[in-house]
Structure 1
Amino acid sequence: MRHPIAVADEPAAATPVQVDGRLAALGRFCHRRRRWVLGFWLLVLALGVLIGGRVFEGSVTGTSAGGSESARGESVAAASDSARGTVVAVVDGAPVGDPAVRAAVTAATGRIGKLPGVASVTDTYAAGPALTATDGRASLVSVRMADGSTDAQLKAVTRELDSIRAGGVRTTVGGDLVLEREVKDQTAGDTRFGELVTLPLTLIVMVLVFGGLAAAGLPVIGAVASVGGALLAMFGFSKVMDIDTSVLPIATVLGLGLSIDYALLMVNRFREERGRGAGTAQAVERTAATAGRTVGFSGLTVAVALAGLFVFTSPVFRAVAAAGVSVVVISVAAALTLVPALLGFVGHRVKAPTAPVPDEGFFTRTVRRVQRRPVPVVLGCIALLLAAGAPFLGSQWRNSGAAVLPTSSAGRQVTEAVGQRFPQQAPAPVTVVVGADRNTAQAYAEDVVAKLPGVSGIRSVTPVTDRVSTVEVLVHGDPQGGPAKSVVGELRADRGGLTTYVTGDAASVVDFQHEIATRGPWALGLVAAGTLLLLFLMTGSVVVPVKALLMNVLSLGASLGALTLVFQHGYLSGLLGFSPTGGLETFIPVLVFAFAFGLSMDYEVFLLARIKELRDQGHTCSRAVELGLQRSGRIITSAALLMVIVFAGFAAGQMLMVKEMGIALAVAVAVDATLVRCLLVPAAMTLFGEFNWWAPAPLRRLHQRIGLKEHMVLPPIPAALPAHLPAQRTEWETESEVGQGAERAGAVG
């Protein structure tokens, strides 16, 4: 039986033995220079807060497949149009012919036409019935803002439109410029809301885990500092590439989750070292040498998963890759520098555990039950995961447009009102940008476009310049459905001898799907190769990495299936507070795969490294799996719980894209940390037995030369304890950080 250990601030009876290695040296430096390190991170946080709003201001809204025909067509049309964008007001609630309404509208348009930054303004009384609703009780006022107009000028126009109130009408202001502003404001608001919800809940959970506020507060402080660094990094990237607004909360949620998890590992290891009798400085050094290795290896696995996004050409994927990898680096840096510095200030107040976690417990019993029936468990888990992922096979991908905003959004209300009541003004499902004058474009529309199957008519042929025109094409059925996509293909197959670009929402979806189909396998291959290499270097096996890869894919399938059920079919939409759009946002499944894959490999490393170390110590494969899960199960569960809290906090926001990412990642982490790690992995490893560690002879020799070790042997802590207390076990003294996962989470309270 192990007795409690009295821990002084610093042991004075013997001189500590210095730990070798760069990470240990980094820990010593950060502890000695903790005021400078803390000052640096406070500066990072302050700068991040100051420029946080500017990051959202400099972001762009709307996504397109980079370099695709639809993106090029939009660029050609935009370059030919001198306007910055439009502001559209729906004047509703009274007959359009009411003299009072007419007077109010014409007076407002007269004033707006004189405002700076306005290129043109049109109302139904000047333009005719095209701007009148089909029921005659609403009309549109359309304002085109000049290129170079300012936000202040846009706000002045919005105020004038809002002032149209005569005759009992109500005015709702929207348009593409208003939508862009609302998307940025709502995304920034959801990000702040997610942080405000997540951090207090995380703190409460960690107080329960650690049994004290001092230890629990350190990961939260590290997470806040990491977010400041993430904002700085994204602000820098926004100067050299377009950062889509939706990228910002995605990168923020990743940074929060990772930094909390990494700080959790560091603080837990510090507590262990204090429990063994190490002083504050020595415990920091030993923590950096062990937990720091885990943090670095974990960050590398997540970064490899995100790096696969660089294969794609779409700006949104490249922006997420750049922002995501930088956030991983910042989270690792905060864990390796800020947390040791903070421990130098408050480490003496952190409660130390009195004994390691026992080798018998809940996870050991669970593994033994699994090992008695490994075949049914494997087949049952695989069947369950396949069934959960099956709905994704019928998923539909869409550009949601204004539907990403909540129903209370004025911009969304105007867009929906235009689509339902002003069919002539609603965006056409397919638009063809023609490099020709109006007459040539008209002939092309009549002779080629109108005769294609699936085309229900030509709405308009509009000259943009003398050499560029647009043809708006109407299609049968869903504007982004199968018939519309077929029309896109037909238009691209027969261009009538002209230079044309087929654009619109349907074309954009087609281009996204084509990019994913052609570049996705390369991205997947890059991620798979990097993951297999890392796991081989860690384990020396070719079987375990392949098995881990397949299990992660099954886990991700379940997440994507849940995503389809919730956001395409509308299950739980009322509870989650959104209106389903009938499909998934085009780029979300790819981002879910990249993020969830990286996080799943994170937990895979925690478990496999511990099992591998126990096996190397001479345990049988079955016993190594038992002890490995017992000693790492609770840290995986604790880390997963914190991740789910972070993702759920962001899913509680209003932006549909952020909600999709939050729900998908929360499901992925929960499934992976429970069903996969606690049941499927032990059952599969039991079936494979010693074959788990097989590798061809040449690869075994290669691993002996260049293999990575996820643990290091620490020098013993000099005795500085009362004589009646027994010495610590050598095995406990030299255990690896990953292998001690269970003790880190379990030796709490």
Structure 2
Amino acid sequence: MKRNFAASVGGWSARHRWWALLIWVAFVAAATFVGNAVGTAEMKDYEGMNGDSRQAGQIYDEAGFKNVADEVVLVQPRSGALTVKDPGFRQAVADVKSAVEATGQVEHVRTPYDREPSPVTEDQRTTLVQFDMKGDGDTAEKRVQPVLNAVARVQKAHPGLRIEEAGSASAGKLIGEAIDKDFVRAEQLSLPITLGILLAAFGALLAALVPVALAMTAIFSATGLLALTSHLLHVDSATSNVMLLIGLAVGVDYSLFYIMREREERAKGRDKRRAIEIAAATSGRAVLISGITVIVAMAGMFLTGNGTFMGFAEGTILVVLTAVVGSLTVLPALLSLIGDKINARVIHGTVRVLTRGRVTWRRILGVRGGQSRFWGAIMGPVLRHPVVSVVLAGGLLIGLAIPAFGLKTGAQNIDDLQGDYSIAETFKRIDRAFPGGNDPAVVMVKAADVTTPQFTASIQNFKRQALATGEANEPVTVTINPDKTVARIGIGIKGTGTDAVSEHAIHTLREKVIPATLPGAHVTGSAAGSMDFNDQLTRTLPLVFGFVLLLAFVLLLISFRSLVVAVKAILLNLLSVAAAYGVLVLVFQKGYGEGVLGFHSTGTITNWLPLFLFVILFGLSMDYHVFILSRIREAYDKGMTTEEAVTFGIRSTAAVVTSAALIMVAVFATFATLSLLTFMQMGIGLAAAILIDATIVRAVLLPATMKLLGDWNWYLPRWLGWLPQLSHGDDAEDADEDERRVPALVG
């Protein structure tokens, strides 16, 4: 009997189930323990930057500047013509200064009436009280509440003025806590939703719990491994959230593929061991191919040269790898240990679970003998009218994809924060009063001594020339590091920080002002960082796309020994990704979903999201494609015609694909409940793409195109005949005769 790698591993695990379970538990425990012991090394701010911004950020990081959390209090009249010269205004500012100083948590308080005054608008109606939080800036948000309370008391005493605090510490506390709660809620929703769908899919508690348990242990172990690898390649703090999202999706999917096939074989009368062997040889192999394809897709993010993307690649590859290993090893062992109890609806003979009514996907989809009558009914007209099906389904997807040509990207800013956050409005008021003041351009200049009269004069010359361009404005701040070797110059720039006006201002600073005043200086900040990120992305995007598409093509070509299958899989996946982009543009850029989802459109899609979605979606879409194609090829190799094999493959995988897609859609959709627009976009984009892929693409376009191509589906040029011949089924001599009786299966 020929045995592929997945079958060999699964067979060994089933025969040595206790050893397999022990090794897996030991691996998860060791990875988790070691990961907690060493801790995850998060990347430094500049490691997520590119170009000139990265150089500036690195200079700042290595200069030994004290990490300071700066705060401001906005003071402006709610109505009337009150100005900073009026006694009432002056008294309010004095009260703010006294109140914040009384907390003992602040230092370096600056007002418009001091020797080094804080900024005042030209109309004299708005000013800022500036100060720094004492202690480490990273922990300032834990100490800022008394300051917020003090400012609130001053506001209450001066109702005619708007007195509001904003800054890194207050934003970290008020916004950070809200976002953390969002993620906790999303994570808490994901598990029960997943479990509920699995209960509906299997109609049995154990069968529903096993995939969730396997996915969670894979996530735990991958998180531990990430802590180790992060010391070689630092990761962004959001990497763990992405790992949870991807790990839960693929971990559950892989278990679904495996368990469904094992149950199907048991229903045919196979003994327990034989059913597991067949599941390992078929679904196990599909899991292996799918996992490798997903990993290859994720690896494309390494080619971006951006620390955030590279960290995402590191984390997602680890979680997919552990999910594959767990599915091929511990899952057969669990199935061997549990046996037919995995189908039980009663716990200890007394407690009946949620499947009492047996309203499962198998009943809804009319699954009998491993075949879905529901999808079979759909297959009928699709295969009878393949041209019409291709035209209608393809036309729909192309129609959805057309808006993607108008996709506009933008950097994250305060407008990304959705919901009732008063501090967000404060930031916007400050930005309207002092454009660029919230997020100024930051010029980093390095020299032997930046405090010499000559160098000080150069800095003053830079300030004069920058302001003279009309593209920069106050406030201008200069900070010197303890060694007096680096000067940090903060300067406000015109525009919103993300528009063409701000970008032109950065170009002016870099190309005209700095060469004439501070040669060798580097510019960073939000606007500069966004520009450099977009430039880097533009350069590397073709490389990433080419890498992912080429390697996925090679993997599919080797796996299915078909040039047509490989090319068609790439085209269908690209079509579904393009349709998802179109949905994103319609909903978040055009704003058609604002009322339903409860957000306000910024008119752009977050700049890092399109590439991230392409890589993730291309990898995840291969899950269903590989699984369905493997079943089709298995049937074709056993003597069915292409049309019969397609019908059999779609109908026999319908329940698992429907369940897997619903889980992914539900898990991804929970991210649409978050307060950050970026994560709402990510959740809706992923959910829409998976829904499109599992229905229109896999249920209509795939079978219709295969029907049209007939035996050309399996075309392989002679010069590629050296490719290895891989089995897609179990080639045992005692293979079921019923799978050779075509009419019984597809009739």
Shorter-chain TM range is 0.7 to 0.9
For the residues of structure 2 that align with 1:450 and 1:691, how far apart are their CA atoms? 69
1:35–1:365: structure 2 CA closer, same or farther, 3 Å change rule? Answer: closer
Counterpart pick for 1:666 among 666, 687, 690: 687
Residue in structure 1 matched with residue 677 of structure 2 by the alignment: 656
Letter in 2 for 1:440: S
Rounded to whole Å, the distance in 2 between the matches of 1:161 and 1:133 is: 28
Q: Equivalent residue for 1:399?
A: 411
Q: Offset at 1:593?
A: 0.5
Q: Any conservation in 2 of the 1:438–1:469 contact (CA below 8 Å)? A: no
Contact between 1:450 and 1:458, CA under 8 Å: does it hold in 2?
A: no
Sort the Cα spacing of 1:25 and 1:257 in 2 relative to 1 into closer, same or farther, 3 A.
Answer: same
Q: Distance in 2 between matches of 1:410 and 1:43?
A: 44
Tell me how far apart the structure 1 counterparts of residues 726 and 31 of structure 2 sit (CA, whole Å).
34
Alignment of 1:320-335 (within 5 A): 320-335=312-327
Cα 1:580–1:244 shift into 2, 3 Å: farther
> Relative to 1, partners in 2 of residues 1:410 and 1:68: Cα closer, same or farther, differing over 3 Å?
farther
Q: Which residue of 2 aligns with 1:636?
A: 657
Is structure 2 residue 379 aligned with structure 1 residue 367?
Answer: yes
CA contact (8 A) 2:69 2:137 kept: no
Residue of structure 2 in register with 1:14 after alignment? none
Aligned equivalent of 1:380, options 386, 392, 400: 392
- Give CA-to-partner distance per residue, 1:17-53, whole Å, 9 cap, x none: 9x9953134422552336625743773697599789x
Structure 1 residues 411 and 304: alpha-carbon distance in aligned structure 2, compared to 1, 3 A threshold? farther
Q: Which residue of 301, 318, 336 corresponds with 2:328?
A: 336
Which residue pairs with 2:13 in the alignment? 27
Describe the SS at the equivalent of 2:671.
helix
The equivalent of 1:627 in structure 2 is: 648
Give 2:737's match in structure 1, choosing from 730, 737, 741: 730
How does 1:535-684 map onto structure 2 within 5 Å? 535-684=556-705
Cα shift readout 1:407-462 (whole Å, capped 9, x = no counterpart): 4446534422321344473323x5544557343244356558845xxx54443554
1:75 match: 58
CA distance in 1, matches of 2:6, 2:49: 48
**Counterpart residue identity of residue 497, structure 2:** P
Quote the residue 1:315 is aligned against. Answer: 307
Kindly indicate whether the alpha-carbon contact (under 8 Å) linking 2:283 and 2:627 is maintained by their aligned counterparts in 1. Answer: no
Give the whole-Å Cα distance in 2 for the aligned partners of 1:582 and 1:64.
Answer: 28
Change (3 A) 1:434 1:182: same
- The one-letter amino acid of 2:108's match is S
**Distance of 1:512 and 1:626 partners within structure 2:** 47
Match of 2:119 among 107, 118, 130: 130
Distance 1:446 1:221, change over 3 A: same
**Cross-structure match for 1:140:** 129
| SS of residue paired to 1:310 | helix
Give 2:22's match in structure 1, choosing from 36, 40, 63.
Answer: 36
Contact 1:237 1:323 in 2 (8 A): no
2-side partners of 1:417 and 1:520: how far apart?
Answer: 37
The letter for the 1-side match of 2:220 is: G
Residue type of the alignment partner of 2:9 = L
Whole-Å Cα distance in 2 between the matches of residues 663 and 61 of structure 1? 29
Distance (Å, rounded) in 1 between the aligned partners of 2:334 and 2:163 = 54
The superposition leaves residues 209-234 of structure 1 with CA deviations (integer Å, 9 ceiling, x where unpaired) of: 21222212211222222232233233
Scaled by the length of structure 1, the TM-score of the pair is 0.82
Partner of 1:464: 479
Structure 2 CA distance, aligned partners of 1:680 and 1:266? 25
Q: 1:625 to 1:156 in 2, by over 3 A?
A: closer
Tell me the SS of whatever aligns to 1:472. Answer: strand
RMSD: 3.8
> 3-state SS of the aligned residue for 1:470?
strand
Matched, 1:106 2:94: no
Match of 2:500 among 482, 488, 494: 482
CA contact (8 A) 1:109 1:123 kept: no
Letter matched to residue 268 of structure 1 = M
Within the alignment, does 1:418 sit opposite 2:425 as a pair? no
Q: Does structure 1 residue 268 correspond to structure 2 residue 256?
A: no
1:316 is displaced (CA, Å) by 0.6
The answer to whether the 8 Å contact 1:130/1:425 transfers is no
Q: What do the CA deviations read for 1:460-498 (whole angstroms, capped 9, x no partner)?
A: 5544346646363634x5532234334444554445352
Aligned residues of 2:476 and 2:490 also touching (Cα < 8 A): yes
**Residue type of the alignment partner of 1:459:** E
Residues 119 and 128 of structure 2 are in contact (CA less than 8 Å); yes or no, is this contact kept in structure 1?
A: no
Name the CA shift for 1:381/1:134 in 2 (closer, same or farther; >3 Å). Answer: farther
Moved more, 280-289 or 636-645: 280-289
Q: CA deviation at 1:631?
A: 2.2
Which of 722, 729, 733 lines up with 1:702 in the alignment? 722
Matches within 5 A, 1:9-20: none
1:168 paired to 2:180:
no
The alpha-carbon deviation at position 544 of structure 1 amounts to 1.8
The answer on whether the counterparts of 2:118 and 2:130 sit within 8 Å (CA) in structure 1 is no
Asked if 2 retains the 8 angstrom alpha-carbon contact of 1:548 and 1:604, the reply is yes
- The question of whether the paired residues in 2 share the 8 Å contact of 1:299 and 1:328 is answered with yes
Contact kept, 8 Å, 2:477 with 2:489, in 1: the verdict is yes
Percent identity of paired positions between Structure 1 and Structure 2: 27
User: 1:88: which partner in 2?
Assistant: 71
SS of the aligned residue for 2:491 comes to: strand
Give the direction of change, closer, same or farther, for the CA distance of 1:68–1:145 in structure 2 (3 Å limit).
farther
Q: Which residue of 2 aligns with 1:722?
A: none
Give the number of equivalent residue pairs.
694
- Distance, in Å, in 2 between the alignment partners of 1:345 and 1:734 is 33
Report the alpha carbon displacement of residue 198 of structure 1 after superposing the two structures with TM: 1.7
Query: What is the CA distance between 1:244 and its match in structure 2?
Result: 1.7
Q: Distance in 1 between matches of 2:185 and 2:544?
A: 33
Alignment partner of 1:628: what SS?
Answer: helix
Task: Provide the C-alpha distance between the structure 2 equivalents of 1:327 and 1:196, rounded to a whole number of angstroms.
Answer: 19
Contact 2:13 2:329 in 1 (8 A): yes
Query: Which residue pairs with 1:739 in the alignment?
Result: none
Partner in structure 2 of residue 156 of structure 1? 143
* Closer, same or farther: CA 627–286 of 1 in aligned 2, 3 Å: closer
Say which SS state the counterpart of residue 301 (structure 1) adopts. helix
Among 474, 482, 496, which residue is 2:515 paired with? 496
Letter in 2 for 1:33: W
Q: Where do residues 163-312 of structure 1 align in structure 2 (5 Å cutoff)?
A: 163-164=150-151, 165-166=153-154, 168=156, 173-180=165-172, 185-278=177-270, 280=272, 283-312=275-304
In 2, the alpha carbon distance for the partners of 1:380 and 1:46 equals 50
Q: Identify the residue that residue 713 of structure 1 maps to in structure 2.
A: 731
Partner residue in 2 for 1:685: 706
3-state DSSP class of the match of 1:676? helix
- 8 Å CA contact 1:175–1:414 kept in 2: the answer is no
The alpha-carbon distance between structure 1 residues 514 and 248, as it changes in their structure 2 partners (threshold 3 A), is: same
Match of 2:474, SS state, is strand
Contact kept, 8 Å, 2:291 with 2:324, in 1: the verdict is: yes
Displacement, 1:132?
Answer: 7.8
Change (3 A) 1:367 1:263: same
The SS at the match of 1:350 is helix
Q: Which residue of 1 aligns with 2:352?
A: none
| Alpha-carbon distance between aligned partners in 2 of 1:611 and 1:42, rounded to the nearest angstrom | 35
How far the C-alpha of 1:602 sits from its partner, in A, is 1.6
Does the 8 Å contact 1:568/1:582 carry over to 2?
A: yes
Matched-pair contact (CA < 8 Å) for 2:297–2:615: yes
Distance 1:209 1:447, change over 3 A: closer
In the TM superposition, residue 603 of structure 1 has moved relative to its aligned partner by 1.3
Alignment-mate amino acid for residue 24 of structure 1: G
Deviations 1:121-146 (A, max 9, x none): 33455454616897857743421555
* Matched residue SS, 1:679: helix
